[in-house]
Structure 1
């Protein structure tokens, strides 16, 4: 495979993991950050718009506060994030400033991308920064996020940001140089995969679950990010960030895996639906409903066999086929209690059960996105 050229892309989201940016003993890796800023400066000078999703606040704060390697309580992690975020933002401002680039800090919580109004507001703010030739530096707001309301890893956050902003490339800088047929640390015979045309269940099976001590992400989360990104038309690259100037290393032909974007990406409003990270519930449907959805039709109550979750009307729910693979996501027209009552009923039977004139569709096709890959929930 010939070297990939980042110069072919006009809007690029770059995600940096904690272990790349922070040394657990020495703190921030300033020389490495300076080399990455050199790369960003070169791409910006070539006309590209760059968005950065930077982990590292908790890891940096942990080092600055002398908290060692022990497991942290939630409030300790949040305190470490508060300390580390200031230092992290300052370091990015300094590094990018050497290239006459202004950085703008954006701290997001899960609701900022999952709730439609806040999603649009975040998109408008970041768009304005890009118009002003600033580099948005984005991280999860770990000072307030809890296990119940968090992205859980910055790979998926980066994919959500990339699709929200219409980026044509997402680069995940990692401690591994791409995707292999098996985790190379475990299987010495694992083979490198330079290009992934589509993320299939077989591709997902290649992912190991391991992550480093300083980060929350592993190859599994990177493939989850890839499904979000490629489904919305954004190409994705996984490559090693451990080397100096990691973006220009891609240009030099260093090893990297390219995930090609979907030939039929979802756009606009449906991008927001498809990228929802935490569906509020699940609807399991029969084979007839699967065929109807794949042909572009709405989901009717008659095709629903099981309802799970505590959701409200307008929430995003996952639609599972009989084999428990997710086939679609959509905005449900009923709350969970009513959905349970009408599951399996014909449209003409719904009003008698609910006591009011009801909508014919459980999820209308305008509020529904079919997932071409499918994955186990």
Structure 2
């Protein structure tokens, strides 16, 4: 049985494990104060889900906003990287204590898990994080997860908790993600337009959907807008995970959205293997291979990337590192783990397999990226 409608997110058979993502603007008001009434209602909803037989992981923003308020930092603590790291260091203590208090009222134990981009980009660390989440859930806790902004740098961070939530759903083996926002869902144009229509169910994000989205966060304290949410959807939909964008402004936002059937539900587009889902969700590429039309057609039909079809190479990478795959028009169509160092790809690109041994000086591998290490986007 698979998820087909919003109400399925409260079905313990179809959705035994669920991720709630809460942004800074919902947790902390513009005055820097915690929205306690709203958070109490959400904690109650987590308790209700547990009573239904569902396990819940929480991806919670708010550390930077809370810390900035305590330290009196300008721009919500986002004026510089140093300010942000300092704000996160102070705010993370407050945030974890807040969740522990909220959940304890319902007899639930909160567990804290701080992740960096690299914790989910490298396979061994990803599997470790996955095992930790599984053990915490088995122990009956509610894992509360956030990016470790106190040490994350601009180059090595998710940048928003929407994509983090999708990756947590993968690692935590959840069936669905509920992203709480300040709008009802994805509209076909700016929701301030009186003619805007809410899209209720979508299977497969397209370029048209991206053009409908805005990259802005209306609150001024968050980092994610609709663009980041659609990027999160693309990670989830390839891994067989449903994702819903729901209005989080009302008290008891989950129940309210499901009872009124209001929100946008993105259905899974396919069900990649666990390894391919992890690979497809990786964000930091080490380089780019540009391929011709024939190679692009072959990989879209399930083939590997052969050197003869590579027309250009960018970036510095070594064997086993992730690279993006683009067409001559600049469209990214895949990503995968490359079988050669950058220097060797330079030597063999555009050449047929029988020429490779002479060019390299050693027996060549079967492909530049083998299909088993390749994910079509």
**Normalising by the residue count of structure 2, what TM-score does the alignment of the two structures yield?**
0.95
| Correspondence 1:11 to 2:14 | no
Contact 2:216 2:225 in 1 (8 A): yes
Q: RMSD of aligned C-alpha atoms?
A: 1.5
Matches within 5 A, 1:215-234: 215-234=222-241
User: Which residue among 210, 213, 222 is the counterpart of 2:216?
Assistant: 210
User: Which residue among 273, 291, 300 is the counterpart of 1:294?
Assistant: 300
Contact 2:285 2:323 in 1 (8 A): yes
Partner residue, 1:181: 188
Contact 2:17 2:54 in 1 (8 A): yes
**Normalising by the residue count of structure 1, what TM-score does the alignment of the two structures yield?**
0.95
Contact 1:24 1:59 in 2 (8 A): no
Partner residue, 2:271: 265
TM-aligned CA deviation for residue 258 of structure 1? 0.5
Contact 1:160 1:229 in 2 (8 A): yes
Contact 1:16 1:172 in 2 (8 A): yes
Matches within 5 A, 1:80-99: 80-99=87-106
Q: Secondary structure at the match of 2:368?
A: coil
Matches within 5 A, 1:352-363: 352-363=358-369
TM-aligned CA deviation for residue 7 of structure 1? 2.0
User: Which residue among 174, 177, 183 is the counterpart of 1:170?
Assistant: 177
| Correspondence 1:367 to 2:373 | yes
Contact 2:26 2:249 in 1 (8 A): yes
Uncovered stretches (5+) of structure 1, i.e. residues with no partner: 372-377
Q: Secondary structure at the match of 1:192?
A: coil
Compare 148-157 and 25-34 and name the one that shifted more.
25-34
TM-aligned CA deviation for residue 322 of structure 1? 2.9
| Correspondence 1:122 to 2:129 | yes
Instruction: Tell me: CA distance 1:94–1:294, structure 2 relative to 1, closer, same or farther (3 Å).
Output: same
Partner residue, 2:60: 54
User: Which residue among 333, 341, 344 is the counterpart of 1:335?
Assistant: 341
TM-aligned CA deviation for residue 124 of structure 1? 0.7
Deviations 1:77-129 (A, max 9, x none): 10100110000000101111111111110000111000111111111111100
Instruction: Tell me: CA distance 1:270–1:5, structure 2 relative to 1, closer, same or farther (3 Å).
Output: closer
Compare 330-339 and 320-329 and name the one that shifted more.
320-329
Deviations 1:247-275 (A, max 9, x none): 1112211520000112x311211111111
| Correspondence 1:74 to 2:81 | yes
Deviations 1:43-67 (A, max 9, x none): 0111101010000100110111112
Partner residue, 1:244: 251
Deviations 1:195-228 (A, max 9, x none): 1121111111111121232111111110000000
Compare 253-262 and 134-143 and name the one that shifted more.
253-262
CA–CA separation in structure 2 for the residues paired with 1:208 and 1:72: 23
Contact 1:329 1:369 in 2 (8 A): yes
CA–CA separation in structure 2 for the residues paired with 1:24 and 1:7: 31
TM-aligned CA deviation for residue 341 of structure 1? 2.1
Contact 1:164 1:271 in 2 (8 A): no
Instruction: Tell me: CA distance 1:116–1:26, structure 2 relative to 1, closer, same or farther (3 Å).
Output: closer
CA–CA separation in structure 1 for the residues paired with 2:346 and 2:178: 42
User: Which residue among 318, 322, 335 is the counterpart of 1:316?
Assistant: 322
Matches within 5 A, 1:105-144: 105-144=112-151
Contact 2:41 2:251 in 1 (8 A): yes
Compare 151-160 and 312-321 and name the one that shifted more.
312-321
Partner residue, 1:102: 109
Uncovered stretches (5+) of structure 2, i.e. residues with no partner: none
CA–CA separation in structure 1 for the residues paired with 2:191 and 2:274: 38
Compare 200-209 and 221-230 and name the one that shifted more.
200-209
